[in-house]
Amino acid sequence: MSLCFADPGSDAIDLYVVAQQDAEAWIDTLPPATAAWARDCDFTGGIGQTLSLPATDTHPALAAVGYGSEVTRRRTRFALAAAAGKLPAGAYRIAQGLPAEDAPEQALGWLLSGYRFDRYKAAKPMKAKLIAPEGVNAAQIEAIVAGEALTRTLINTPANDMGPPDLEQAARDLATGHGATIHVTTGEDLLAANLPLIHTVGRAADRAPRLIDMRWGDSGPTLTLVGKGVCFDTGGLNLKLGGSMGLMKKDMGGAAAVLGLAHMIMATEQKLRLRVLIPAVENSVSANAFRPQDILTSRKGLTVEINNTDAEGRLVLADALALADEEAPDQIISMATLTGAARVAVGPDLAPYFSDDQNFVSALETAAAQVADPVWRMPFHTPYEAMIEPAIADLDNAPAGGFAGCITAALFLRRFVTGSNYAHFDIYGWQPSDAPARAKGGVGQGTRALLHALDRILDI
């Protein structure tokens, strides 16, 4: 699976990007026979439309893709990607019609359209290759695509092949590829290292729980990424129903996202010091599984009353966040497939995030709009703190009532970060149906926006 631009020296086919309102005028510029062909093909410039004009050899003489209208483009990210997979084999060079300010997004979408998850079943590769449009940073786009492909593949891989040891190996492979260091604490050693919540959540599984700790970079501001690595979530003793358990291979989507973002950061040589922390566990059912009404003591010393064993993600993140905060990095960011409440609030396409830092908010939202990676700010609403404070412990992992579930989860996590700027992303990590540049399955959310915002967030 090649997710790179075609060689500029390739025998290129000219590709015309034709907006809907310009289609008739463009067709009128063609030779009469060619124009008649275009009209016979009902080419109107709609998003997803393609037009190949025949030549005497095996390649088209030229091709066109629809760019839709301003209205339809607002509803469709990666408009060119809707057509890329429909073009005949060849290397295509944008000849006309693509606004320069749109080129990075559309080039990115084209490459992402080539992603295939083919570990278990052969998949047809995309035949149409794109030569990097003039003015785009081709190396940066390829690095972003590689990071996104890593995220997608990790999420798409089922839990029998993506348990805690496999997630560890993926992190080790990434570290080796970029000259990063990695340290992993496993099983009973978690207790000796004062990571009790990670151990407690994962101890019922056959594959031991672990904390993955990767570091890269020796100068610049400090950034710590914390990703939820619940490789499968049965719900524990509060067992999920079958319908709710069906997608739980993606419950390590936060870990997949931070590993993908880490690749982007390292491959583009950002001037910072990066740390990645991933608590990797399975929430399983066994005689030694943790129980409702248990009270657990966290690394930070805060006690937690367990009112639902299916609210385990915030527990493993709590220890990792406390560990991260001990170094007081300039910025901590957690990413997790944490609550169904976030999906109810904003659906699967938006990445909800929490931050009280206006510089972070401004930088992120500006970048998100620029790179077509939508995010939505949610509030750390302090008056709701009382909802996570039970009678007999410091914190409640699953407040009763169901109100503001994603906010109370974020407030729970914030209790474990006191010395650093903190932002939390409650992502879905899954594309429910095929869309341009986003095949059904695992998907990264918020990572491209974060990459493009780092210079403002960290002042680099």
Q: Which residues are catalytic?
A: 240, 314
Q: With contact defined as beta carbons under 8 Å apart, do 448 and 373 qualify?
A: yes
d(CA 284, CA 286): 7
d(CA 178, CA 198): 27
DSSP string covering 100-147:
GGGHHHHHHHHHHHT----SSS--PPP-EEEBPPTTS-HHHHHHHHHH
322 token code pair: 């406390």
Q: With contact defined as beta carbons under 8 Å apart, do 80 and 133 qualify?
A: no
* Count of CA atoms in the C-beta half-sphere (13 A) of 231: 29
DSSP string covering 141-163:
HHHHHHHHHHHHHHHHS-TTTSS
d(CA 162, CA 170): 9
42 Rama class: left (phi>0) / alpha (psi -120 to 50) / beta = left
253-267 helix and 164-178 helix, angle to the nearest 10 degrees: 10
Instruction: State the residue for tokens 């990095």.
Output: 329
Angle at 227 between CA 222 and CA 231, to 5 degrees: 155
Q: CA of 7: how far to CAs of 4, 145, 195, in Å?
A: 9, 17, 49
Q: Which of 271, 457, 455, 445 is nearest to 362 (CA)?
A: 457
d(CA 340, CA 32): 57
Give the phi and the psi of residue 394 in degrees, each rounded to 5: -70, -40
Q: Which of 64, 67, 87 is nearest to 14 (CA)?
A: 64
d(CA 399, CA 275): 31
Q: CA of 42: how far to CAs of 10, 15, 25, 436, in Å?
A: 30, 18, 14, 22
